[in-house]
A and B are shown apart, each in its own frame.
Chain A
């Protein structure tokens, strides 16, 4: 009985979590190691999430391959779906935050790709036997670092050095306030990056942990825990919604933050 239970828990754990350890590892601080982004444990952490990222890359490449016929002409078939998607990102996310096409246009491809990448990673993570690569703090940290780079580099490219200084040091401050405000702005830029990392990571990991807990109850209580299975199915459907919502939230928040830097009078 106990052996069967352990084997079942092992199986569920393996396929729901797959973060380089069992639930024990999760609760007993072993995944503190996962947070050691610059430590030597990177390979151990990436053992399966790495594959998921490559898979998402291949799928996105295939998407671009099938959509390539629509470039520069009236889209037909599959291209119309892509056009709707790009227009949604452009008109609902980028342009309102960048104050129109002048500043926003060159940022549209970035937000299109980041939304698709996160949405696809989240959704693939819900398929059994796959793992959720955005539930790994290293990968969300990488995404947020890309955000940081685009924020700084994009501000420099769109508005020149003047805009970058203006983004980090609001105009019209009295002299003694300047170093304090500069410090505050730099801190807030990094804390936004950190918040983007943790929000996506904790949402996806949290959802999977809750699913795991619900399914584990059946191993502990047997048939008595049938209602928890129903709850797990409802949670799973909710996770599909959360997967898309988190992709939207990440894209929207980075658009707001970058828009505030590039287009400060907004």
Chain B
């Protein structure tokens, strides 16, 4: 079951990171002068989502 669980966890993370990337790109396209700030915020949000996904993957590997 471990690999299946890892796959499900990655599904959620993919949706989350996809949404972050989508909105950051939209924001950058509309306001190129804010690109640097948006990029920092995007990386931080991505890292937080990724952290949760990695918890799930580690739990899957443990079992």
Contacts and interface: CB of A to CB of B under 8 A. Distances in A.
A208 B55 CA distance: 17
- The DSSP consensus for interface residues of chain B is helix
A202 B62 contact: no
Interface string A204-239: 001000000000000000000000000000000000
A253 B47 contact: yes
Interface residues of A, number: 17
Contact of A256 (B44, B57, B58): B44
Contacts of B50: 199, 203
Interface residues of B, number: 14
Contacts of A32: 62
A56 interface: no
A249 B55 contact: no
A253 B44 CA distance: 7
A252 interface: yes
Contact of B43 (A199, A203, A206, A248): A248
B43 A202 contact: no
Contacts, number: 37
Contact of A245 (B43, B54, B58, B63): B43
Interface string A187-205: 0000000010011001100
Given A29-B62, A248-B43, A252-B44, A198 B57 contact: no
A77 B48 CA distance: 38
A202 B47 contact: no
A249 B62 contact: no
B44 A202 contact: no
A7 interface: no
A89 B3 CA distance: 39
Interface in A159-210: 195, 198-199, 202-203, 206
Interface of A: 26-27, 29, 32, 92, 195, 198-199, 202-203, 206, 245, 248-249, 252-253, 256
